[in-house]
């Protein structure tokens, strides 16, 4: 516990020294986190400094100055915006700890197309995380929405229900249903996916059978 407390003090000291020297050398760098690796040997201590920068930075002079000031080996590592958010931590739009800082290990690609499939506003400012990139959680439910879109009729498509013909108005993926408008009465009501998919399969089957019969008779 004493060694851990000493390492925390060394990390805080190294962060302050790094910020001071970065400002002195006028480098476009921002320190995000510091790790102090103490192996117990006086000449085998390492300080790992994680930083962000808009481009590659020549920090050779900075490394030598940090090594003299901290009396340790220096390892400077440039990280991206998502890795920076993981190191710093914080709360997301949902009010919970950032996924990358808790359980998320790999960053999978996220696109605006995923937000569009989930009926979210295609505004990057509203669907971006603390790192400034699109939220990683857009990837979580995307397979569910994609599967739903493959199975159910598209919006505007006509379906045959036991109550009569209807037109699909909207999809309700969380409720596993669609909103339809009856062609005869104009009534708008939700309908379960099972009912719509069953009617769609029967409609496709009948259409296919009819085409086969007509081709045979010809």
pLDDT of residue 215: 38
168 plus 123 within the same structural domain: no
Label residue 156 left, alpha or beta by phi (over 0 means left) and psi (-120 to 50 means alpha): left
pTM for this predicted structure: 0.62
107 plus 46 within the same structural domain: no
Does residue 24 lie within any of the structural domains?
A: yes
Q: How many domains, in total, are found in the chain?
A: 3
Count of beta carbons in the 10 Å neighbourhood of residue 39: 9
Give the single-character DSSP code of 40.
Answer: S
d(CA 106, CA 121): 25
| CB contact set of 135 (below 8 Å; sequence gap of 6+) | 92, 93, 110, 127, 128, 129
Strands (E) located in the chain: 30-38, 45-52, 73-78, 158-161, 164-172, 177-182, 188-192
87 plus 29 within the same structural domain: no
d(CA 212, CA 215): 5
Does residue 67 lie within any of the structural domains?
A: yes
2 has a pLDDT exceeding 80? yes
Does residue 146 lie within any of the structural domains?
A: no
Q: Is 115 exposed, middle or buried (0-12, 13-18, 19+ CB in 10 A)?
A: buried
75 plus 6 within the same structural domain: yes
Give the CATH number, domain containing residue 7.
3.30.300
Whether 165 and 182 have beta carbons less than 8 Å apart is answered as: yes
173 plus 160 within the same structural domain: yes
62 plus 95 within the same structural domain: no
75 plus 97 within the same structural domain: no
Does residue 147 lie within any of the structural domains?
A: no
Does residue 158 lie within any of the structural domains?
A: yes
Its domain, for residue 173, covers 152-217
Whether 58 and 23 have beta carbons less than 8 Å apart is answered as: no
Does residue 145 lie within any of the structural domains?
A: no
Does residue 160 lie within any of the structural domains?
A: yes
89 plus 128 within the same structural domain: yes
d(CA 126, CA 70): 42
13 plus 72 within the same structural domain: yes
3 has a pLDDT exceeding 50? yes
**pLDDT band at 205, cuts 50/70/90?**
very low
10 plus 59 within the same structural domain: yes
**pLDDT band at 9, cuts 50/70/90?**
confident
pLDDT digits 0-9 by tens, 151-186 = 888 888 888 777 788 888 888 888 888 888 888 888
50 plus 14 within the same structural domain: yes
73 plus 116 within the same structural domain: no
């Amino acid at each position: 516990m004493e060694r851990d407390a000493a390492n925390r003090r060394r990390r805080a000291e190294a962060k302050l020294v790094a910020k001071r020297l970065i400002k002195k050398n006028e480098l476009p760098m921002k320190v995000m986190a510091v790790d102090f690796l103490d192996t117990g040997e006086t000449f085998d201590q390492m300080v790992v400094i994680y930083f962000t920068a808009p481009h590659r930075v020549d920090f050779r002079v900075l490394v030598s100055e940090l090594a003299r000031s901290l009396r340790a080996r220096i390892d400077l590592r440039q990280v991206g915006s998502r890795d920076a958010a993981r190191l710093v931590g914080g709360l997301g739009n949902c009010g919970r700890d950032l996924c990358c800082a808790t359980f998320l290990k790999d960053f999978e690609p996220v696109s605006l197309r995923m937000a569009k499939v989930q009926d979210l506003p295609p505004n990057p400012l509203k669907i971006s995380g603390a790192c400034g990139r699109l939220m990683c959680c857009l990837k979580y439910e995307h397979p569910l929405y994609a599967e739903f879109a493959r199975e159910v009729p598209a919006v505007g498509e006509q379906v045959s229900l036991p109550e009569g013909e209807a037109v699909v108005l909207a999809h309700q993926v969380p409720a596993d249903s669609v909103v339809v408008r009856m062609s005869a009465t104009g009534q708008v009501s939700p309908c379960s996916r099972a009912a719509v998919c069953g009617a769609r399969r029967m409609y496709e089957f009948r259409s296919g059978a009819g085409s086969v019969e007509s081709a045979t008779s010809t």
